[in-house]
Amino acid sequence: MFFTAAMNKKRIYLYCIFIIIGLLIWQFSKPSKAQTAFSETVKIALRDVGNKLLLSENDSTSLILPVKEIRNSKYELSFKSQLTFEPNSLVTIVENSFQKAKLPSNYLVEVIQCEDGEVGYSYQKTAIEESTIIPCRSRSLPKNCYTVEIRFTEIKTAYTRISFLLYGFIVLTFIVMDFFFFRKKKTNETSTETSEPVATIGSFHFYPTQNKLVKQATEINLSKKECELLQIFSENLNQVVTRDELTKKVWEDNGVIVGRSLDTYISKLRKKLKDDENIKLSNVHGVGYKLELDG
């Protein structure tokens, strides 16, 4: 019982530590001030891109919807009205606005059609000219509802990766500990209980390693000497066990000389066994004692 309670407490403590570490990781995984400032700068630059795209088509009245950060390093620019533009204008406008805002020069641009989510046009810009891919510059896009999605391809997001890796490592560690430690302990505990030597004496169950008698739901604790004596008797039911044998096994083998202690412990055992009328611990005059079990 105590062992099980201790294991449950250990598991609760481990759960608490696991939750606290998770909260700390979540807290430290929040975007820093620099990351927040970067996001705000991107949104301003994209609004500038949207304004210039509309002006390139002589549209000074259409509304530019709020720029959204879809996920880390990816943003969405959208318009309330339909528009049309040349890819060449888009490439130039984005590049100029980003240079002015001092944003990274490695990014991927996709023009998404609102009605079906298909990519109407896309290109990739990098700091190395050989890696830059800008197809179909001069082919105008038909007038339609578009959103422009921009993803920066070399933004350092190590803090996010580290957080997920660390959190994953903790989860894996917890699962391994739960499987190998707690289950093993539980198995060992069950195995111990299963292999526990039990002797049946009348209506009692005798557990010598636990120093106790059990009658139905009632437990009767035994002293070490009572337990040792009862174990000898249970191994020699209905047989006379001499005083010399009892004193030798229980006292003298342990370096203790006994006087009237044997009679005292026999008397205590009689009282603890009295609830079962079929059990009798009798004195064989001048010889020893006998544990008798009727039936």
The token pair that represents 8 in the structure block: 């449950």
Closest by Cα among 262, 259, 257 to 243? 262
pLDDT in tens, 153-208: 876 544 455 556 666 666 677 676 666 655 555 555 554 445 567 888 888 888 88
* CA–CA dist 138, 92 (Å, integer): 12
* CA–CA dist 264, 193 (Å, integer): 32
* CA–CA dist 136, 86 (Å, integer): 9
pLDDT in tens, 66-113: 999 998 889 999 999 998 888 999 999 999 999 999 999 999 999 999
* Higher per-residue pLDDT: 171 or 31: 171
Residue 247 has a CB neighbour count (10 Å cut-off) of: 18
Name the strand (E) or helix (H) holding 284.
strand 279-284
